[in-house]
Amino acid sequence: MSDKRMLALLKKRKEELSAPSKPISLAAKPEVSRNEAKSIAPADKKARSSSNNGNDAVAKPLPSLSTVSSAAKRPAGSGQDAAAVPAGRNDKKRPAVGTVKAPVAENANAAARTRDITSATPPLKKGGLTALQAQMENKLQGAQFRWLNEKLYTTTSEEAMDLMSSDPSLFEAYHEGFRHQVTKWPINPVDIFVRFLKAHPAYVVGDFGCGDAKIARSVTNRVHSFDLVSVNDYVTACDIRRVPVDSQSLDVAIFSLALMGTNLADFLREAHRTLKKGGHLKIAEVRSRFDEQHNGIPRFIEAITELGFRHKHTDTSNTHFVLLDFVKSSDVGVPRTASGFAAGPLLKPCIYKRR
């Protein structure tokens, strides 16, 4: 199935789930008015100071992507809204959901047919979805996340850029799923990098594949945050194989779980271009991406060294990810095509299993 078709299918299923569930009534069909669209508050964009000075020690709050996306994915007048609107707000004739009675019977038999529609309607959960609908929506979200995740790991960064810019809601869907994964981890690697930067507030930083720029929001350093889509004012939308900063301008280049494209060596070469000599390259990668049976970590380190870095430290103490530290040791590295990266992928795609 083509990518476009698969995406359209997943979106359609999600929309169907969000559609209003029809109340079952034995009474004459009540006139149901259309609810006007609920306006969705745009993301409360924070001004970004050029130096990023004044950032609080704690990550500055942003509207969560899940809030934005779950609001955005509800079509105007969808089932959720219908359930939330009090009876009579839009149409005085409309009876309250749950109290509709069939017309009063003229005889006892007819009276026996009177039913409260709540007994015929599946119980509504908060948000207007039944438990079953919520479960199905969850499954669809999971399927969409896994599909997007696999795409990001198995295509070039150019293809990833095309995909994400074709529909930015995909990025939100991806990050909703990603956040869910990270909550299961004992520690988020971003927090480790934040700790390091707080100890070195003068360092100028590049956060390659920054997501929602938690690092920039958590430290006082000057941080350039890059990702395929800009979800807030901290983020510059670009492909990290080519970022809009000068050569030799960064003290630290961070890749927190961001070496995703099949051309990931291009990202590392870009880090090399933008780092000052002696600057730090800091990588966190999912542990299962390294083929441990075939010397995964040492081969990866060797290939990075060939690009003009010196390996400093490896931390494998975490169950979920590996931390690798390098410094830029030389102004010139060997061309990517002559490095260990030329021989084939050195990191496996990180494929999540069905929940």
Ligand X SMILES: C[S@@+](CC[C@H](N)C(=O)[O-])C[C@H]1O[C@@H](n2cnc3c(N)ncnc32)[C@H](O)[C@@H]1O
Give the DSSP H or E segment for 315.
strand 309-315
CB 213 within 8 A of CB 228: no
Closer to ligand X by CB, 133 or 157: give it: 157
We find the least distance from the C-beta atom of residue 309 to ligand X, in angstroms, to be 20
Restricted to residues 189-208, the positions that interact with ligand X (CB under 6 A) are 189-190
List the structure tokens of 203: 């360092």
Restricted to residues 129-168, the positions that interact with ligand X (CB under 6 A) are 152, 157, 160
Bridge partner residues of 309 (DSSP): 328
CA-based Rg of the chain, rounded to a whole angstrom?
Answer: 26
Is 261 near ligand X (CB under 6 A)? yes
Closer to ligand X by CB, 78 or 188: give it: 188
We find the least distance from the C-beta atom of residue 113 to ligand X, in angstroms, to be 57
We find the least distance from the C-beta atom of residue 320 to ligand X, in angstroms, to be 12
d(CA 121, CA 40): 28
Closer to ligand X by CB, 23 or 177: give it: 177
Site size for ligand X, by CB under 6 A?
19
In degrees rounded to 5, what are phi and psi of residue 278?
90, -5
Applying CB under 6 A, the span of 47-55, 93-101, 256-264, 325-333 interacting with ligand X comes to 256-264
We find the least distance from the C-beta atom of residue 328 to ligand X, in angstroms, to be 20
Closer to ligand X by CB, 157 or 232: give it: 157
Taking residues 211 to 240 in sequence order and writing x for each that binds ligand X by CB under 6 A, - otherwise, the string is x--------------xxx----------xx
Closer to ligand X by CB, 117 or 163: give it: 163
Is 303 near ligand X (CB under 6 A)? no
DSSP 153-210: HHS-HHHHHHHHHH-THHHHHHHHHHHHHHTTSSS-HHHHHHHHHHT-TT-EEEEET-
Closer to ligand X by CB, 143 or 210: give it: 210
Is 170 near ligand X (CB under 6 A)? no
Helix axes 131-154, 3-18, angle to 10 degrees: 160
Closer to ligand X by CB, 160 or 307: give it: 160
Helix axes 131-154, 169-182, angle to 10 degrees: 100
Applying CB under 6 A, the span of 20-28, 78-86, 255-263, 270-278 interacting with ligand X comes to 255-263
Closer to ligand X by CB, 184 or 294: give it: 184
Overall residue count recorded for the chain in this entry? 355
We find the least distance from the C-beta atom of residue 261 to ligand X, in angstroms, to be 5
We find the least distance from the C-beta atom of residue 58 to ligand X, in angstroms, to be 16
Q: Which residue has the tokens 């690697």?
A: 189
Is 177 near ligand X (CB under 6 A)? no
d(CA 342, CA 307): 12
CB 253 within 8 A of CB 203: no
CB 287 within 8 A of CB 296: no
We find the least distance from the C-beta atom of residue 208 to ligand X, in angstroms, to be 7
Bridge partner residues of 253 (DSSP): 206, 281
We find the least distance from the C-beta atom of residue 283 to ligand X, in angstroms, to be 11
Is 260 near ligand X (CB under 6 A)? yes
d(CA 248, CA 227): 20
d(CA 333, CA 311): 14
Closer to ligand X by CB, 61 or 298: give it: 61
For strands 222-227 and 250-256, give the pairing. unpaired
Contacts 24+ apart (CB under 8 A), 116-119: 117/23, 117/24, 117/25, 117/26, 117/27
Instruction: List residues binding ligand X (CB under 6 A).
Output: 152, 157, 160, 178, 189-190, 209-211, 226-228, 239-240, 256-258, 260-261
